[in-house]
Chains A and B, each alone.
Chain A
Amino acid sequence: MSDVREEDTVTLIASDGTKCAIIKKAAIISPVLKAMIQGPFQEKDEVTLPDIGPDVLDKVVEYLELKCRSVREGGDNDETAIAQFKVPPEMSLELLLAADYLNV
Chain B
Amino acid sequence: MAPLTVKLVKRNQPLYDSFDDSWQVVHNALEKIFSDNTSEVSFERVYRVVYDIAFLGETEKFYKKMTTYLIDRLSLSSQETFGNMDVSSGSDSSPKFIQCFNTFWLANNHHFKLIGDLMLYFDKVYSVPKRKLQVIDLCYSIFATAVLYPLQQNLLDAFTNTFNKIRDELIDSEDYGTVLEKNATIIAELKSLISMMELILVNDGNVSFYKTSFEQYFVDKTKAFYSNSIQWDNLPPLEIFYTIELLSPAEREISKRCFNDDTSSKLLNTVEEVLINDKASNIVNSLVSMAMSKQDKDLLEQIMHLSVENTEYTTRAYDAIKKYIFNDLQENICVDESLRRRSLMGIQWTFEITKKRTNYNKFLDIHYPNGNDASSYIIDESFVKFLEINIKQSIEFLCYYADSKLKMPPSDSVTLETIKSDLHPIIKFSESLSAMDDFMETYRVMLSKRLLHQRYTYEWEASVLKSLSSEVGSYLTVNIETMLKDMNISGDLTRSMKAMTGSKTTDSSLSHLDFHPSVLTMTAWPFDSMNEQEEEQTKLPSVMQRQLDVFADVYKKRYSQRILKWCHSLGLVEITYWFGDDESTRKYDLVLPFHSAIVFLLFVVENGENQEGKQTNQPWTLDRIQHATGLTTAEVTRQLISLAIAPRFRILKKTSPGPNIQSTDTFSINEDFKSPTETVRVKTVNLTPGTTTTGGNDGTSIQKSLERDRFVVTNAAVARIMKQNKTLMERELFEQCQAVLKPHFFLQNKTFQHSLHHLIDKEYLATDPDDPQVYRYL
Contact = CB atoms under 8 A, between A and B. Distances in A.
Interface of A: 15, 31-32, 35-36, 39-43, 47-51, 89-94, 97, 101, 103
B4 interface: yes
Given A35-B117, A36-B44, A43-B44, A103 B124 contact: yes
Contact of A42 (B11, B12, B42): B42
Interface in B34-63: 38-44, 47-48, 51
Interface of B: 4-9, 11-12, 38-44, 47-48, 51, 114, 117-118, 120-121, 124
B44 A47 contact: yes
Nearest to A53: B9
A97 B121 CA distance: 12
Nearest to B5: A90
23 contacts: A15-B12, A32-B47, A32-B120, A35-B117, A35-B118, A35-B120, A39-B38, A40-B38, A40-B114, A41-B42, A42-B39, A42-B43, A43-B42, A43-B44, A49-B44, A50-B48, A51-B48, A89-B4, A89-B6, A90-B5, A90-B6, A101-B51, A103-B124
B114 A42 contact: no
A96 to B, nearest CB: 9
Contact of B41 (A31, A42, A48, A89): A42
Contact of B9 (A35, A41, A94): A94
A73 B536 CA distance: 112
B121 A101 contact: yes
Given A39-B114, A41-B39, A31 B120 contact: yes
Contacts of A92: 6
A87 B204 CA distance: 43
Contacts of B7: 90-91, 93-94
A6 B8 CA distance: 37
B9 A97 contact: yes
Given A31-B120, A103-B121, A36 B5 contact: no
A15 B7 CA distance: 18
A15 B4 CA distance: 26
A94 B11 CA distance: 9
A35 B43 contact: yes
Nearest to A93: B9
- Most chain B CB neighbours (cut-off 10 Å) among A47, A89, A97: A89
A49 B12 CA distance: 12
A20 to B, nearest CB: 15
A78 B48 CA distance: 30
A36 B44 CA distance: 7
Nearest to B118: A35
A103 to B, nearest CB: 6
Contacts of B120: 31-32, 35, 103
B34 to A, nearest CB: 13
Contacts of A39: 38, 43, 114, 117
A59 to B, nearest CB: 14
Nearest to B52: A51
A51 B7 CA distance: 16
B43 A41 contact: yes
Contacts of A103: 120-121, 124
A45 to B, nearest CB: 13
A61 to B, nearest CB: 16
A103 B48 CA distance: 13
Nearest to A49: B44
Nearest to B125: A100
Given A36-B43, A39-B114, A42-B43, A50 B38 contact: no
Given A39-B114, A93-B9, 12 more contacts: A32-B121, A41-B41, A41-B42, A42-B39, A50-B48, A51-B12, A90-B7, A94-B7, A94-B9, A97-B9, A103-B120, A103-B124
Contacts of A32: 47, 120-121
A43 B43 contact: yes
Contacts of B6: 89-90, 92-93
A73 B558 CA distance: 100
5 shortest A-B CB distances, which residue pairs? A35-B117, A41-B43, A40-B38, A36-B43, A42-B42
Contacts of B41: 41-42
Contacts of B11: 97
A94 to B, nearest CB: 5
Contacts of A49: 44
Nearest to A31: B120
Nearest to B4: A89
Contacts of B118: 35
Contacts of B114: 35, 39-40
Contacts of B9: 93-94, 97
Contact of B44 (A48, A91, A97): A48
A47 B47 CA distance: 12
Nearest to B46: A41
